[in-house]
Amino acid sequence: MRRSIRTLVAALSALPLALAVAPSAHAADPTTMTSGFYVDPDSSARRWVAANPGDGRAPAINASLANTPMARWFGAWSGTIGTATGAYVGAADHSDKLPVLVAYNIYNRDTCGGHSGGGAASPSAYATWIAQFAGGIAGRPAAVILEPDSLADYGCMNEAQIRERQGMISGALAEFNRQAPNTWVYLDAGNPGWVSPAAMAQRLHEAGLRQAHGFSLNISNYFATAQNTAYGNSVNSELAARYGYTKPFVVDTSRNGNGSDGEWCNPSGRRIGTPTQMGGGAEMLLWIKAPGESDGNCGVGTGSSAGQFLPEVAYKMIYGY
């Protein structure tokens, strides 16, 4: 039954700032079209457990990591991208579960940080890639995290490069709106230790946040959920004051159980956080960065490459040491 406008306005005014939002770019709600979150059957933790059944660490990694819903990342390694996203979302749809996908292939990716450098060969190549990404999803329900770090990683970029990146992001959003009507897309907004809420609100807006469902926080980082919630609410305060709207946000809780010690690249002593769920201070708490996967050749992952699964790091993260 449709509620009256007066009832709807009253309900929205009672929501916390993080959820009192402008209308979504999509009418459909993929969380109501599915029954829970999809567990990636080919996650790095699952593959490692299957390949090392006699390892003493395998039971803990299997119980705590391999069966927890988490995002799958897509990039140049994914092959024909429309086929890859279509197969993944199709399998999730067959199970009536909501898949979370990460699009990670923007031109000049991680140009300032460097550990995850790469991406598409040109802005036009990226436009083609992301259009095929969205086309693979099509009308099936999904959530997409769009290009982690891309709006926070401005430190070494000139104005022309920044505008170029914003154009790629807004173009990507247009493709999802056109081809994937049952997908919620979140623009990445960094983390509480990177960019001020005022600056991030401006960057999000200039990259086309109005076209997106929301924004994401803490991807591949360690800040506590409460810190991210406070930061997300501050970003929304800036959006409301400057542009007249707010958006929901999600938080990556995969590795924030012990909070941050100020290091972002494979710090020791971190712990897995709250498993993927709806609510929890944000629209969703999600495992976006897979626990145990390296941030790069640094910290306790010295000698590894970004994305490489490190079983000892995963094992210690389960117990927080």
Q: Which residues are CB-contacts of 302 (< 8 A; sequence separation ≥ 6)?
A: 266
Cβ neighbours, 10 Å, residue 199: 16
Q: Which of 40, 93, 149, 252 is catalytic?
A: 149
Q: Which bin fits 303, alpha (ψ -120 to 50), beta or left (φ > 0)?
A: left
Check if 96 is active-site: no
Check if 295 is active-site: yes
Q: Which of 93, 188, 252, 295 is catalytic?
A: 295
DSSP state string for 229-275: HHHHHHHHHHHHHHHS----EEEE-TTBTT---S--SS-SS-B--SP
CA dist., res. 159 & res. 43, Å (int)? 38
Yes or no: say if 213 and 245 are a contact pair by the CB < 8 Å rule: no
CA dist., res. 204 & res. 24, Å (int)? 15
Yes or no: say if 221 and 257 are a contact pair by the CB < 8 Å rule: no
Residue type, 164: E
What counts of helices (H) and strands (E) characterise the chain?
A: 9, 8
CA dist., res. 175 & res. 262, Å (int)? 37
Q: Which of 40, 93, 110, 188 is catalytic?
A: 110
Active site residues: 110, 149, 295
